[in-house]
Amino acid sequence: MLHKEKPDYNRNQYGFYTLMTLFQLIISFVKLMR
């Protein structure tokens, strides 16, 4: 059970990190457009 849960957790962490990076990129782009 424990082995099965760990990859999911790592994948969620990676997805969250990717989302935050995309979010920051969009914010920077909006600031540049202004």
Nearest to 17 by CA among 9, 28, 5, 29: 9
pLDDT, residue 14, reads 87
Q: What is the pLDDT of residues 16-31, one digit of tens each?
A: 999 999 999 999 999 9
Per the confidence metrics, is the pTM higher than 0.75?
Answer: no
Give CA separation, 7 vs 11, 15, 17, 18, 22, in Å.
Answer: 6, 12, 15, 16, 22
